[in-house]
């Protein structure tokens, strides 16, 4: 990379560097959104051991039992792999990193009506990309807003170190970790349309609230990336992939992080 931007404008790059995030509107076409939606609708009626194990008889007391998140669908589904390595996404990542980007993880969230959200947290606490950082690409497959549990971001918190989280409220969050933002920084909603992609720094504090709607899913396809100059990453994110699909096996980062322990579960967010 020479520092020249190919996918982003200088203003967009400055937005990301200053605020810690950037929304690229309409990066995915309606046809691409529908392909993702149709693919994961088909998956939702099946079981994929180790990746997607829904309770197909679940009642409505916890919608996430029927529609749990899928972590690493690119490991069993070609469409997920294709969109994790989407040329436009990889080009944006290269601009943000100012070097080659490596794809580390894919996820899909159905977030049906009534679902709990996820407490505020920081991604690189889990991915442990060093040196450098992870960057997320959060693609809205449905319109996402405050009613149906869209993303909450805390601007400029990418400037803060990774911290050890507190315990989250299980009645509101399906995950257990909570990172409280500084008192002078408040979460703001990321209002998005289907096809928009939110890119954000791995140190930025973010999360989501409950889906309070009665009939609106908030589906999202989310991937995480690492800079090619990184020398290690958390154990659950290997192998990584170049834009051409070539696998890259970075060494495992065995540092326990700010809590001084090794976390034993793969990361899934938002």
| pLDDT attached to residue 269 | 40
Q: 225 pLDDT exceeds 80?
A: yes
Residues written for the chain? 270
Q: What is the DSSP string of 200-218?
A: EETTS-EEE-----SS---
User: Which residues, other chains included, contact 223 with Cβ-Cβ below 8 Å and sequence gap of 6+?
Assistant: 83, 84, 89, 103, 104, 105, 106, 107, 136, 137, 139
In a domain, 236, yes or no: yes
In a domain, 183, yes or no: yes
In a domain, 114, yes or no: yes
Residue 128 near residue 255, CB atoms below 8 Å:
yes
In a domain, 264, yes or no: no
Tell me the whole-structure pTM to 2 decimals.
0.94
CATH number of the domain where residue 85 is located: 2.60.120.620
Q: How far is CA 268 from CA 24, 42, 124, 156, in A?
A: 22, 21, 12, 22
In a domain, 53, yes or no: no
For residue 101, the enclosing domain spans 10-45+64-259
pLDDT bracket for residue 258 (50, 70, 90): confident
Q: Which of 220, 211, 199 lies closest to 269, judged by CA?
A: 220
pLDDT bracket for residue 268 (50, 70, 90): low
In a domain, 51, yes or no: no
Q: How far is CA 81 from CA 25, 87, 109, in A?
A: 22, 12, 16
Q: 58 pLDDT exceeds 60?
A: yes
In a domain, 200, yes or no: yes
In a domain, 192, yes or no: yes
pLDDT tens string 90-145: 999 999 999 999 999 999 999 999 999 999 999 999 999 999 999 999 999 999 99
Which residues is 198 bridged to in the sheet?
23, 138
Q: How far apart are CA 9 and CA 14, in angstroms?
A: 9
Number of compact structural domains in the chain = 1
pLDDT tens string 135-180: 999 999 999 999 999 999 999 999 999 999 999 998 899 999 999 9
Phi, psi of 8 (to 5 degrees): -120, 155
pLDDT tens string 171-203: 899 999 999 999 999 999 999 999 999 999 999
């Amino acid at each position: 990379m020479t520092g020249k931007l190919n996918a982003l404008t200088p203003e967009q790059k400055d937005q990301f560097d200053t605020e810690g995030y950037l929304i690229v509107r309409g990066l995915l076409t309606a046809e691409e959104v529908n392909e993702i939606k149709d693919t994961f609708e088909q998956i939702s009626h099946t079981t994929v051991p180790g990746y997607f194990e829904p309770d197909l008889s679940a009642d409505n007391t916890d919608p996430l039992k029927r529609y749990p998140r899928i972590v690493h669908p690119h490991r069993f589904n070609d469409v997920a792999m294709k969109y994790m390595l989407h040329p436009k996404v990889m080009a944006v990542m290269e601009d943000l990193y100012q070097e080659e980007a490596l794809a580390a993880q894919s996820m899909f969230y159905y977030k049906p009506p009534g679902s709990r959200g996820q407490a505020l947290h920081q991604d690189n606490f889990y991915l442990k990309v060093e040196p450098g950082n992870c960057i997320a690409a959060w693609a809205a497959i449905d319109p996402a807003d405050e009613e149906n549990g869209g993303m909450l971001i805390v601007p400029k918190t990418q400037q803060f170190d990774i911290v050890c989280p507190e315990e989250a409220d299980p009645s509101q969050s399906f995950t257990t970790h909570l990172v409280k933002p500084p008192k002078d920084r408040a979460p703001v909603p990321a209002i998005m349309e289907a096809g928009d992609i939110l890119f954000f720094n791995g140190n930025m504090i973010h999360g989501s609230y409950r889906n309070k709607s009665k009939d609106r899913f908030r589906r999202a396809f989310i991937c995480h990336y690492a800079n090619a100059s990184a020398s290690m990453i958390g154990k659950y994110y290997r192998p990584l992939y170049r834009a051409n699909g070539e696998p890259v096996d970075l060494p495992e980062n065995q540092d326990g992080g700010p809590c001084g322990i090794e976390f034993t579960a793969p990361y899934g967010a938002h």
